[in-house]
Chains A and B, each alone.
Chain A
């Protein structure tokens, strides 16, 4: 079997070129091949949102995305959202407000909220709730997550 062309895409702002079979799922590529373990595997069925990454800026479930489909596109994971050595406004608000408990769903929420606030800098509560309705959290009852996103939005000009 001829080995397929390497997969070329932009990952967290940098060009990436990795071997990748046609059946490889993006989540496996990120976690297993590239050791980007910040993206979490919660269900492998697109139900929990823990594996959310940005594909060309849009929140996307990496467990349901064939890796070869991101060729030529831009993928941003939780690792790419974190500024070097610091926290983004959304991340800082999650810490300050106690929006993490076990933290396993947290990267997915941060990724989703980051995209929301980029497109809608001042969302109302309903817009926030709609935006995060693809992410499950079993610890917080979402209360402090919503508060944190509101706080992060409020801290913007």
Chain B
């Protein structure tokens, strides 16, 4: 661990075990599939076997007649389009008129049990006319015979095009001393969380609908249910049980959630839908298959002059978060560096593949790989050490980027120093034996988004309610969604920190839209920053009431008092004081239970040009990782021995959780760089199981040395920034650049599998380029 000053806080800054830990290790934590309701029916989905087809007719009469079948739904019953972004509502709960990918939902059944539901699916007769299948986004760039959606640009399958130009890129390249071009090709990857999606819905005779769902964003689900089902939001209650991982895959409101609710409304019975693993793969919303073309120019001193970037993004069947993806592939390419001239053209194209969407470090991962590989090549050409090149171009604190991102805190230079020293870079780079190498990759990511998606920007992005009654327990309500990252624990710890009480007094309540005030949920790495500030504000208000009560009891002015562990006492005279409970009971005398509401909103930031808000955040994280690899040049297999991960998340409030996020991010990043692939033949997914889609095993995990070097962020709660997504990004280029150092081969196509390593070695030898004497 890097040198850190002792935390000035009692709890925050230490290692705080997750408060749900005892429930999770005993199997007592409750996930959606663990709930059952009286009279509950089972839902199953009929999925399209065609990548693209017109649905001429669907005959469900035989299915409906099957004993034990309570409802069969087809698309026209609830045809209102929805989608996570208000500008791209192109999904329906069940396909209407057309199936757009293999796996698209074309009917749904509610039956007494799974066997009956499956039997009913087999009785549904679908008359479909196959349409031309589009699996290559390049073909979708111009007018096509049968556009996947009618909203594609000029009869094409283009869902979104972004063109941006800041400064004068051509003039900058004209005076560049060095320039390189990297063409990156990235297979799609998926979240592969362990808990399959599950939803239970219960429509009740009082006209209300309750939905339990494995979701990262209960509020957007709540909105979509209301829009599609035509029920006002106050008649819908969304409950989020424990969620078994999400990583972005449970952040869209998903069709099956609406379908389950619709089936409950139709039948008047509770309905459960549990996806099997194949369903999960077809639902996807993972990282987009992408091709990018990155050109970077340097001046003779190694200063970046310009980026010129194109990205072609395979969106799959729906928009999902795709408009954001298209912006992020450009705007998240620049930091942590100062880039004075920037041109970007990004296009996201619909294909008949399962939809892609948001996956951990959304929009930043693929483009940063190509950029970091380009910088590694430039460092070599300009004969500058890769660390020195990055340091020379670092964005300074309190600066503004060319596209008007406001940068406040950055400890990027400290990240570089820490990773360089800890990894022994100066005695390893280009000096290890053939087959061994070290590589540097750097990261930059948003700590929340300034633009709430479905919300007036004037409303807070996060609200936290506290209630304390005479028992001295503090109930905390918020719609922030803990999906395993530890946000419940952080919420409790912030409240306990401010009030000086033991953590066990604080009870974080399950997300329930009837009682939880809105927080926009777990996406865009926003929770610590936004919920943390809201929680702090709520707790400070309670603290003020308790101190006022203590002042009355002690007959001392409030400003002379301080809150310490379970006690409020006189500064400088600690023997004069009252307990937390005494102060609480005094404060309750006139009002009963104490309540407090805290909230947080970002202030509007960013430029005024079209798309200016995309990527603007109240703060950004920074990273510098070194990977050390060992390549078997006979088989092409390689292992990553160690990753030195220097990360700037501001102040790490729960070191246990921050370490866990970094280790997990590295695992997920390694999966993408070393082997994970959504494997398609044309539009069809060929590996929809965890047997064929391999996430890294424990044997493949490197030693991870975490270096937390961040300075306090001025606006983050207690100085904190995000650590949930940014830590993934630097993993990929660190490995790619280390492979180059090891064997002299540049890899620009991911994943870097052993056969690609062997082909690269073969090509290098045929080109007569010796490397480290081999």
**Given the complex of chains A and B, what is the CA–CA distance between A139 and B667 in angstroms?**
8
Assess whether A94 is in contact with B699, with CB atoms less than 8 Å apart: no
Assess whether B27 is in contact with A78, with CB atoms less than 8 Å apart: yes
**Given the complex of chains A and B, what is the CA–CA distance between A142 and B668 in angstroms?**
11
The contact of B484 among A77, A102, A141, by CB within 8 Å, is A102
Which residues of chain B are near A41, meaning CB under 8 Å? 33, 196, 274
User: 1/0 contact trace for A25-67 toward B, CB 8 Å?
Assistant: 0000000000001111111110110100000000000000000
**Given the complex of chains A and B, what is the CA–CA distance between A146 and B701 in angstroms?**
11
Task: In the complex, identify which listed stretch (A3-11, A116-124, A130-138) lies at the interface while the others stay far away.
Answer: A130-138
- Nearest Cβ on chain A to B544's Cβ, whole angstroms: 33
Judge if B695 is at the interface, Cβ distance under 8 Å: yes
Which residues of chain A are near B668, meaning CB under 8 Å? 138
Which residues of chain B are near A102, meaning CB under 8 Å? 193-195, 242-246, 483-484
**Given the complex of chains A and B, what is the CA–CA distance between A102 and B244 in angstroms?**
5
- With A38-B28, A39-B27, A141-B667 already in contact, the answer to whether A98 and B660 are too (CB < 8 A) is yes
Assess whether B483 is in contact with A138, with CB atoms less than 8 Å apart: no
User: 1/0 contact trace for B2-28 toward A, CB 8 Å?
Assistant: 000000000000010110111111111
Assess whether A138 is in contact with B277, with CB atoms less than 8 Å apart: no
Which residues of chain B are near A94, meaning CB under 8 Å? 21, 25
Assess whether B27 is in contact with A100, with CB atoms less than 8 Å apart: no
Which residues of chain A are near B485, meaning CB under 8 Å? 101
Assess whether B20 is in contact with A142, with CB atoms less than 8 Å apart: no
Assess whether A87 is in contact with B194, with CB atoms less than 8 Å apart: no
Assess whether B660 is in contact with A103, with CB atoms less than 8 Å apart: no
- With A102-B245, A102-B483 already in contact, the answer to whether A87 and B25 are too (CB < 8 A) is yes
Assess whether B21 is in contact with A138, with CB atoms less than 8 Å apart: no
Question: Which of B365-399 touch A at CB < 8 Å?
Answer: none
The contact of A141 among B242, B656, B699, B704, by CB within 8 Å, is B704
Assess whether B666 is in contact with A141, with CB atoms less than 8 Å apart: yes
Judge if B689 is at the interface, Cβ distance under 8 Å: yes
**Given the complex of chains A and B, what is the CA–CA distance between A43 and B276 in angstroms?**
7
- With A42-B194, A98-B660, A102-B194 already in contact, the answer to whether A138 and B247 are too (CB < 8 A) is yes
Judge if A105 is at the interface, Cβ distance under 8 Å: yes
Assess whether B690 is in contact with A48, with CB atoms less than 8 Å apart: yes
Assess whether A42 is in contact with B701, with CB atoms less than 8 Å apart: no
- Nearest Cβ on chain B to A75's Cβ, whole angstroms: 14
- With A101-B484, A103-B484, A136-B194 already in contact, the answer to whether A37 and B34 are too (CB < 8 A) is yes
The contact of B22 among A38, A40, A78, A95, by CB within 8 Å, is A95
The contact of A104 among B21, B31, B701, by CB within 8 Å, is B31
For A137, give the chain B residue with the smallest CB separation: B194
A-B pairs with CB below 8 Å: how many? 168
Assess whether A78 is in contact with B26, with CB atoms less than 8 Å apart: yes
For A105, give the chain B residue with the smallest CB separation: B194
Question: Which of A62-107 touch B at CB < 8 Å?
Answer: 77-79, 82, 87, 90-91, 94-98, 100-107
- Output the residue of A40, A97, A105 with the most chain B CB within 10 A: A40
Assess whether B17 is in contact with A96, with CB atoms less than 8 Å apart: yes
Judge if A110 is at the interface, Cβ distance under 8 Å: yes
Assess whether B196 is in contact with A42, with CB atoms less than 8 Å apart: yes
Which residues of chain B are near A132, meaning CB under 8 Å? 698
Which residues of chain A are near B33, meaning CB under 8 Å? 37, 41
**Given the complex of chains A and B, what is the CA–CA distance between A98 and B17 in angstroms?**
6
Assess whether A104 is in contact with B194, with CB atoms less than 8 Å apart: yes
Judge if B664 is at the interface, Cβ distance under 8 Å: yes
Judge if B510 is at the interface, Cβ distance under 8 Å: no
Judge if B659 is at the interface, Cβ distance under 8 Å: yes
Assess whether A79 is in contact with B194, with CB atoms less than 8 Å apart: no
The contact of A45 among B15, B26, B690, by CB within 8 Å, is B690
Assess whether B194 is in contact with A50, with CB atoms less than 8 Å apart: yes
Assess whether B18 is in contact with A45, with CB atoms less than 8 Å apart: no
- Nearest Cβ on chain A to B539's Cβ, whole angstroms: 24
Assess whether A100 is in contact with B195, with CB atoms less than 8 Å apart: no
For A94, give the chain B residue with the smallest CB separation: B25
**Given the complex of chains A and B, what is the CA–CA distance between A143 and B667 in angstroms?**
10
Assess whether B194 is in contact with A101, with CB atoms less than 8 Å apart: no
- Nearest Cβ on chain B to A86's Cβ, whole angstroms: 9
Judge if B222 is at the interface, Cβ distance under 8 Å: no
For A49, give the chain B residue with the smallest CB separation: B194
- Nearest Cβ on chain B to A85's Cβ, whole angstroms: 10
Assess whether A104 is in contact with B244, with CB atoms less than 8 Å apart: yes
- With A42-B194, A87-B22 already in contact, the answer to whether A140 and B690 are too (CB < 8 A) is no
- With A100-B24, A139-B484, A143-B704 already in contact, the answer to whether A40 and B660 are too (CB < 8 A) is no
- 16 sampled A-B residue pairs with Cβ under 8 A: A42-B196, A43-B196, A95-B25, A102-B193, A103-B23, A104-B244, A105-B244, A107-B27, A133-B698, A136-B194, A139-B245, A140-B664, A140-B667, A141-B665, A141-B667, A144-B656
Other than A41-B274, A45-B691, A82-B25, give 10 A-B pairs with Cβ distance below 8 A: A37-B27, A39-B27, A43-B196, A43-B277, A47-B277, A48-B690, A91-B25, A107-B27, A139-B245, A144-B663
